[in-house]
Chains A and B, each alone.
Chain A
Amino acid sequence: MDINDIIKPENLVYDKSPLQIDTIMHYCPGCSHGVVHKLVAEIIEELGIQEDTIGVSPVGCAVFAYNYIDIDWQQAAHGRAPAVATGIARTNPEKIVFTYQGDGDLASIGAGEILHACNRGENIVVIFINNAIYGMTGGQMAPTTLIGQPTSTSPNGRDVALNGYPMKMTEIIATLPGTYYVTRQSVHTAATVRKCKKAIKKAFQNVIAKKGTSFVEVVSTCNSGWKMTPVGANTWMEENMFPEYVPGDLKDNDIQKPASGN
């Protein structure tokens, strides 16, 4: 049988969202960023908000997010995406604004901006890719690097005496009354990809409904930075990252209103 006999509309089982731009993939094979980009593109398409969505890309591997999703974008300085998103969202309240940030960007250099944007309850989606390492600059230690995890700036493993502890940003963010929905997801299996998509979609729906900050951490792999195979990185993430960064919802004001007066 010829290949052209197979390529027919009735045989289509999977299609790429028209919002996903055909471009040379700059992410490493096995990287989680590409999967999350795909989800974001699909969600924007499904919600019909392409004309109203402004993305803010970080400094980090995802700096080029704007090459992959066909919406208007702004590229922010390292860590400043939540402030940039605040500027856009406050002056364009009808727009759906999201930031897409790595853990170096969000938890280290931009710790101040994310805390205050969330604390103000800015009506934005935050997508937080936690791969426990600085991918773009070649695998240095991040605030989220696990104790004992080797990186190029902690070659003998993260040492608490020297570097302190892995920082659980999502737990901290969930304590802020300004946030509406705070969740931790992953994209390493088909099932978790589906779950993660639901979570990111809910975050966008919250912002459409002007409910306030919706924060989605995606515990991710950086097999290049971790110096593992893609499959090995998935296993390592399940065994080592999940005990520290436990997947699941940390806060959902749709279900549980925070107790008043505490």
Chain B
Amino acid sequence: MGELRLMKGNEVLAEAAIRCGCDAYFGYPITPQSEVMETLMEQKPWESTGMVVLQAESEVASINMVYGAAASGKKAMTSSSSPGISLMTEGISYIAGAELPCLIVNVQRGGPGLGTIQPSQADYFQAVKGGGHGDYRLITLAPASVQEMHDFVKLAFDLAFKYRNPSMILTDGALGQMMEKVELADYTPRRTKEEIIDQCGSWATTGKTSGREKHVITSLEMDSHKMEQNNLRFQDKFKNIEANEVRYEAIRCDDAELILVAFGTSSRICQKAIELARDKGIKVGLIRPITLYPFPTAIIAELAPRVKGFLSVEMSAGQMVEDVKLAVYNARCITPVEHFGRMGGILPSPNEVVDALESKFLNQ
């Protein structure tokens, strides 16, 4: 059993980074996630594990510092909240285009624009459809507890290095600020230089030794035929990710007639809504996507022929609902798919979710 602590989601992100052997964090303050860098500065991991922590001049700089560190094979990360992630999208596109591993955490707040500092899930499209320019994807993990905030830091890095692709943890201000019991992992030492060369020596900027060709980390290719080949290689990688990395949780789906689909904070609310609905005799289950990209399409397609409907519950105007519809369409079904959500930093209440189930599927 690892060390147990009562911690905030944001603090846990920092703690998990240090414990999983992260090499560097670069960030810029923004509510509701500033505790990530504050915790790191307080912990001074440069004195213990040797992890670099630097406050950058902007999110544009943070993500480019991550790009630099990641190119040399380091485990580098940044965190921000919605407006800051928008600023990072150019850099994220470069990182994806140069096929580098890294971790970006988005502790979402309500938008658009400066919006609000309250929790939101309205950056779903930005996270799972690419966000920046060009055909790329982010491996996107959606924690639903402080424990998962901890666990997914390591998982996100592992997947990023496995596929040489940036990973994102898409969470929100509620999970960032919420305190829960968490079991902390033991410390994994940072990789040695030799270990980094073992793992990344075929591509990283570790210094051109006489035994090998120079390494050039770039997303540029002026020959469009070669650029198309690069894109085809990226698409193969994404197919591979879709085939192998889907993660989700199915809760009470066995006898369910209606399925809620919700991630992160809204999935927690939906669990309460299931209890309330079942008390009323409505057989409801929940699919909780853990990976938003790759989306758990197959399980939704599998459920589609035998359930009466899906309700996508999101803290947005309805973004993930499009992926639920696509999954149902892929199953060649006409099962109704509806959305319920609150916006602008408001959390839906469990009763509102039950009301939405009743009004959209039962009282017609």
Partner-B contacts on A (CB < 8 A): 50-54, 56-57, 63, 66, 70-77, 80, 83-92, 95, 112-113, 116
Contact = CB atoms under 8 A, between A and B. Distances in A.
A143 to B, nearest CB: 18
A80 B60 CA distance: 8
B90 A72 contact: no
B218 A83 contact: no
A91 B74 contact: yes
A74 B218 contact: yes
A50 B208 contact: yes
Interface stretch (B32-40, B63-71, B259-267): B63-71
Contact of A77 (B64, B207, B209): B64
B217 A83 contact: no
A74 B209 contact: no
Contacts of A70: 208, 214
B24 A73 contact: no
B170 to A, nearest CB: 23
Given A76-B64, A77-B91, A91 B72 contact: yes
Contact of B69 (A66, A71, A91, A116): A91
13 contacts: A51-B208, A54-B205, A72-B207, A74-B216, A80-B60, A84-B64, A85-B68, A87-B65, A87-B67, A87-B71, A91-B72, A92-B74, A95-B207
Given A54-B205, A113-B60, A87 B218 contact: no
B159 interface: no
B23 A91 contact: yes
Given A74-B218, A76-B68, A84-B64, 14 more contacts: A54-B207, A71-B207, A72-B205, A74-B68, A80-B61, A80-B64, A80-B91, A83-B60, A84-B65, A88-B68, A90-B54, A91-B52, A112-B57, A113-B64
B144 to A, nearest CB: 31
Contact of B64 (A57, A83, A89): A83
B342 interface: no
Contacts of A92: 72, 74
B72 A54 contact: yes
Contacts of B54: 86, 90
Contacts of B67: 74, 76-77, 80, 83-84, 87
A112 B91 CA distance: 15
Given A71-B208, A77-B94, A88-B71, A112 B61 contact: yes
Residue among A52, A53, A86 with the most chain B CB within 10 A? A86
A79 to B, nearest CB: 9
B219 interface: yes
Nearest to B71: A74
Interface in B205-253: 205-210, 214-220
B58 interface: yes
Contacts of B26: 87
A91 B220 contact: no
B76 interface: yes
Contacts, number: 125
B215 A83 contact: no
A77 B215 CA distance: 18
A72 B94 contact: no
Contact of A116 (B57, B66, B72, B217): B57
B208 A84 contact: no
B24 A90 contact: yes
Contacts of B331: none
A112 B304 CA distance: 52
B41 to A, nearest CB: 15
A66 B57 contact: no
B185 interface: no
Nearest to B90: A77
Contacts of A63: 220
Specify which of A51, A56, A77 lies most central, judged by the most chain B CB atoms within 10 Å of its CB.
A77
Interface string B50-90: 00101011101110111111111010100000000000001
A77 B133 CA distance: 13
B68 A56 contact: yes
A51 B61 contact: no
A75 B72 contact: no
B214 A72 contact: yes
Nearest to A88: B68
B208 A90 contact: no
The interface centre, meaning the residue of B24, B70, B94, B214 with most chain A CB atoms within 10 A of its CB, is: B214
A72 B69 contact: no
A102 to B, nearest CB: 15
Contacts of A83: 56, 60-62, 64-65, 67-68
Q: Which 3 A-B pairs have the closest CB atoms?
A: A87-B68, A87-B65, A83-B64
Nearest to A76: B64
B60 A86 contact: no
B195 to A, nearest CB: 14
Contacts of B94: 76-77
A51 B220 CA distance: 24
Nearest to B222: A64
B207 A52 contact: yes
Nearest to B23: A91
A113 B24 contact: no
Most buried by A among B60, B94, B217: B217
Contacts of B216: 66, 72-75
Contacts of A66: 214, 216, 218
A75 B216 CA distance: 7
Contacts of A51: 207-210
